[in-house]
Each structure stands twice: as C-alpha cells, then as structure tokens.
Amino acid sequence: MNVRLDHVGVNVRDLDAQTAWYQRAFGLKAVFEFQVEGPGLRGVVLEHPDGWRLELLARPDSAPGLRAPDPITAALTEGYGHFAVTTPELDPVHTALVAHGAGEAVAPGPSPEPGVRMAWVTDPEGNLIELIERRSTE
C-alpha cells in the first residue's frame, strides 16, 4: 500500500492568532484558507519548507477538549494527543519555540527510543507538540 501522511489537523479557538503563531514559530506558510458556510467552519492549511503540513480549524462556539499539560497526562485520554516534528538539533529549536511563546511541557532529555532525544511544548492554546532529535548514524 503506497500511502504517506498528508497533514495533521488541529482544532483551535482563535484561528487568526494560532495561524500567526505557527507561521512565526515554525516558519510555516499559508497554502490556502477555506470556509464551510453551513457550520461556520474556517480553516487554513500551513506548509513547512520541508513539505509537512498542518491544518488549523475553527468553528464558533467550540469548546475546549483535552488540554493535558504533558504527554503522560495526555495518554490517559484516548484519541488525538499531539503531533511531532523532527530536528537535527533539539535544544536550539526548543529554545526558539519557547521564545516565541510556546509553553514548556517536558524539558529536552532522552526519549524512550534508544539514541533519540525529545522535548515537549504546547502552542498558545495548550495543544501538545513533541520535538524529536534523531542524529544521523552516518
């Protein structure tokens, strides 16, 4: 089966503020915006220069869902818990995201996966983001 992940969707309260934050913090560019009139759903697809995409969705009168402060607490609830990005240098990326207003959930440290380091941050609305450092063995 030839499939690959296209994007991750995140439901947000403030679409404009979250769009601006992800653009600043991750260097994402808006690919397209859309609206579904019936339910009043608005969305934007953001893309990173490396090709990964994030879709932000907002609907009036939405209610907050899981806002776990860390990945261990998030694992107590079934369903979406986080999205993850990889980087060759974890510490400067973690520092830059915190400087852009990301919340610190788990400081940089070892991952359960051998030879991998990780950290966790939250976006301004509390959605968890995992940062993964995989060093090349070459």
Q: How many domains does the chain have?
A: 2
The verdict on residue 65 lying in a domain is: no
The mean per-residue pLDDT over the stretch 17-39 comes to 95
Mean pLDDT, range 34-47, rounded to an integer: 92
What is the pLDDT, as a whole number, of residue 1? Answer: 80
Domain that holds residue 38: 7-58
Task: Scan for tokens 């998030």, then name that residue.
Answer: 74
Angle 126-106-19 from CA coordinates, rounded to 5°: 30
pLDDT tens digit sequence for 103-121: 999 999 999 889 999 999 9
Q: How close are the terminal C-alpha atoms of the chain, in Å?
A: 29
User: Residue 80 — pLDDT band, cuts 50, 70, 90?
Assistant: confident
Q: Is residue 18 part of a domain?
A: yes
In a domain, 98, yes or no: yes
Q: What is the CATH number of the domain that holds 38?
A: 3.10.180.10
Query: Quick one: 49 and 95 in the same domain?
Result: no
